[in-house]
Structure 1
Amino acid sequence: MNIQELMNKYYNNLNDNDKLICKYIINNKDTCYKLSIENFAAKCNVSSTTLFRFAQKISLTGFSELKVKLRLEAESKSNNKINLLEAVTDSYHKMIDHIKNKDCTSLFEKMYNAKRIIVYGSGYSQARVASEFKRIFLPTKKIIFNMHGNDMAEAIGALASEGDFVIIISLSGESKGVIELAEILRLNCIPTLSITRMMNNTLASLCEENLYINSILLPEQYTINYEISTPYFILIELLYLKYQKYIQTK
């Protein structure tokens, strides 16, 4: 068990001074292990003896073991953050290499020949990406519609017609709305591009063209529920640069 689990397990056996120590540890987990027993006790406004007995009350041999466990947990947390940074930057590099080396001729032909390009983002982050797509592709002089929200999927199915090209941006590619939209577009023979997280998904299987990103969810220790969306924007920029290179050949 980690320190927090031990404190919770034995909480009913702790007195008021012990609970002050618990509060201090919770608020200073990453630094308190560096303190001597005297300094640690002073920070908690208790005696060194109380601190030593507190460690025993939560099943540890004494203050030294308490410090070791706190140090190991802090170092593990730090290593996880470093590993996450490496994972995120690695995902960027992989996605960049994938787009750089991908043959986009078929995709660009559909975009070039389309009368209108409709970009649909299924969620909040995807809506931001759809807006960025419209902004960065404006110089192509294509008529680009930017639509988002689950309630708009049905409207796009009714709006899209022959000569259009529809881009569907979805994280999982498994939500009911995007699947139904892709099915309607396929039945109407309207070409589509899916942009989803790098994984096999139903939306990708329904679309003629597919692009993928590596998306990473921040661990709980970062205190916010957030999935990194930067790869979407990198993809859009690289796609625009490649498209410009393509139309120069026309």
Structure 2
Amino acid sequence: MKLDELVNKYHNTLNSNDMYIWQFILNHKDVCFKYTIDEFADHCNVSKATLFRFAKKLSLNGFSELKSRLKLEHDEKEEICCLDYLETVCECYHKLIDDMKKRDCNSIFQLMENANRIFIYGSGNAQKAVADEIKRIFLSIKKCFYVITGDDTTNSLVHVATENDLMIIVSLSGESPVVVNMARKLNMKNVPMISITRLKNNELALLSDENLYINTTSLNIDSVLNYETTTPYFILIEILFLKYQLYLSGV
């Protein structure tokens, strides 16, 4: 029987101190199972004897069994979360693959073929890695991309790029001030642009001639830090690369 079920079962025997302890547990489930009895009592502002009596009222042997129950329930919750995350992430990957397989990318490839130079910019660390990967895989078929990094280089690009070039911008949100400002300036010069962003309405996508979208999943790893999946970027560009080869072969 879970702890909340035990609390419900023996609710009539619990006093205000017991309910105070239970509320503390509910508010700190992610950490209280790590506490020693002294630490628990100190954080909860109750005596060790009060903690022991609380555990006994729930038909537990003592604090050690209470702590074991808390850890077990925490681990079970973590396992369920991991399974949910796994399912969500895999569905995200499968959907992207299906969407890219069906997508007609000819208009994107025509922009690439007509461009004198192709510049690519990634707005964050993950996006820069994507830009480098695009450069690497397309170089294998002698298609050159110029990866742009740094504010100075970005400012210079805005001045030298022409309507005969192509700009590819990789951004998560498509809303960062640096990206939007650069896209607006390039748009005013009629420089063709392709955006690669998260699947949602965003300023960068509106300013671009062609849009490629990914679905990302935000994972709450430790209740403090969020991890945003980046693999969809690499799935997208690899499928784009394969479709480009088919385009060149006339298939």
Using structure 1 for the length normalisation, give the TM-score.
0.75
Q: 1:21-64: per-residue Cα shift (whole Å, max 9, x none)?
A: 689xxxxxxxxxxxxxxxxxxxxxxxxxx988525458973537
Show the counterpart of 1:198.
199
* Deviation at residue 217 of structure 1 after TM alignment: 2.2
Unaligned stretches of 5+ residues in structure 2: 1-22
Q: For 1:152-163, what aligned pairs fall within 5 Å after superposition?
A: 152-163=153-164
Residue 78 of structure 1: how far off its partner (Å): 1.1
1:226 to 1:60, Cα distance in 2 relative to 1, 3 A? farther
Match of 1:111, SS? Answer: helix
* RMSD of equivalent CA atoms: 3.3
Q: Secondary structure at the match of 1:137?
A: helix
Separation in 1 of the partners of 2:178 and 2:132? 19
State the match for 1:210 in structure 2. Answer: 211
Task: Give the match for residue 38 of structure 2.
Answer: 19
Equivalent pair of 1:117/1:142 in contact (CA under 8 Å)? no
Q: After TM superposition, which residue ranges in structure 1, 4 or more long, deviate above 6 angstroms?
A: none
| SS in structure 2 of the partner of residue 126 of structure 1 | helix
CA distance in 1, matches of 2:49, 2:197: 54
Aligned in 2, Cα 1:52/1:159: closer, same or farther, shift over 3 Å?
farther
Question: What is the identity percentage for the equivalent residue pairs of Structure 1 and Structure 2?
Answer: 40
Aligned partners of 1:169, 1:220: CA distance in 2, in Å? 25
Supply the distance in 1 between the matched residues of 2:245 and 2:180 (Cα, whole angstroms).
Answer: 30
Structure 1 portions without partners, runs of 5+:
11-15, 24-49
Shift in CA distance, 126/54, structure 1 to aligned 2, threshold 3 Å: same
TM-aligned CA distance change 1:155 to 1:70, over 3 Å: same
Structure 2 counterparts to residues 32-181 of structure 1, below 5 A: 53-54=50-51, 56=53, 61=58, 63=60, 66=66, 68-149=69-150, 152-181=153-182
The separation in 1 between residues aligned to 2:147 and 2:196, in whole angstroms, is: 15
Partner Cα separation in structure 1 for residue 26 and residue 101 of structure 2: 47
Would you say how many aligned residue pairs link Structure 1 and Structure 2?
A: 218
